Amino acid sequence: MKLFSHTLVLVLLFSLFALPAAILLLVGLAPGWRFPDLWPAQFSFTGIQFLITHQDQIVSSLVSSFLYSVATVLVTLGMCLTPAAAFARNRFAGKRLMEALVLTPALVPPMTFAMGLHVVFIRLSLADTVAGVVLILALFTYPYMFRALVTGFQTLGEEYRVCARNLGAGPVTIFWRVELPLLVPAMIAGGSVVFLVAFSEYFLVFLMGGGTVPSFTGFLMPLLASSNRSLAAILTLIFLLLPILLFFVIDGSLMRSYRKKGMV
């Protein structure tokens, strides 16, 4: 009985969250799949062919999205590292209020500050540049990095730092050799969310990139509404696979480096 209800939960999870991905694969391979067929009448590779003929455009938009998302992760990391340490370790007046305030950019509609900034970005020639896109994405996503790092510093505690200082290490050495390696999991947790949000954001990239900064979402958007569902499905699957691949690579290399240092 218990096993039955557990299986039921898995079936529910599957049909809600995994089935759509499986269906996307079918849609991608069967452009002619129509009502009322429950299973595609025939499969074809026209979607894949389009993929191959337009590979330059697709690859360049993928690479562009990937690069500005990674840059966003690095910028948010730079923005949050020392403030997160200060928040985790110090008590000061107005700390709770300040913490609530710095988290608001992730909560209020991004349009409300991005559209106001647009005019300034145009004046500063930041609009339509990768730098402008990264800046606006970082402004929208840094709260995720900040939360993750504050939690990271809190779990770290003071002991490692005190111990290293007693052994004669200076603040820079403590940070580089002791704290940073221990913070990697927190950085990856925050960085994954920042990466995903940046990678899948359409509007902010459209606004600040103005079409000159290629993005995968910008490439995908017109196709989603078009009649060529097969191609849209294939591109959506690429969207799914790339981050998964990235996380596997990061996870694997992290485990390897931990093993090398004897931390696992």
- Site track for other proteins across 34-73, x = CB under 8 A: xxxxx-----------------------------------
Give, as ranges, the residues between 2 and 31 that touch other proteins (CB under 8 A): 6, 9-10, 12-14, 16-18, 20-21, 23-24, 27
Q: Is 113 in the site for other proteins (CB under 8 A)?
A: yes
Nearest distance from residue 260's CB to other proteins, in Å?
27
Task: Indicate the residue among 125 and 257 with the shorter CB distance to other proteins.
Answer: 125
Interface with other proteins (CB under 8 A), residue from 59, 63, 108, 167: 108
Q: In sequence order, which residues have a C-beta less than 8 Å from that of residue 86 and are 6 or more positions away?
A: none
- For position 86 contacting other proteins by CB under 8 A, the verdict is yes
Give the residue with the Cβ less far from other proteins, 227 or 260.
227
Closest approach of other proteins to the CB of residue 113, in Å: 3
111 interacts with other proteins by CB under 8 A: yes
Nearest to other proteins of 88, 169 (CB atom): 88
Written as one string, the DSSP assignment of the chain is -HHHHHHHHHHHHIIIIIHHHHHHHHHHH-TT--TT-SS-S----HHHHHHHHTHHHHHHHHHHHHHHHHHHHHHHHHHHHHHHHHHHH---TTHHHHHHHHHGGGTS-HHHHHHHHHHHHHHTT-TTSHHHHHHHHHHHHHHHHHHHHHHHHHHH-SHHHHHHHHTT--HHHIIIIIIHHHHHHHHHHHHHHHHHHHHH--HHHHHHHTTTS--HHHHHHHHHHSS-HHHHHHHHHHHHHHHHHHHHHHHHHHHHHHHHHT--
Positions in 194-253 near other proteins (CB under 8 A) = 196, 199-203, 217, 220-221, 224-225, 229, 232-233, 236, 239-240, 243-244
Among positions 151-190, residues that touch other proteins (CB under 8 A) are: none
Asked if 141 interacts with other proteins (CB under 8 A), we say no
Q: Does 120 bind other proteins (CB under 8 A)?
A: yes
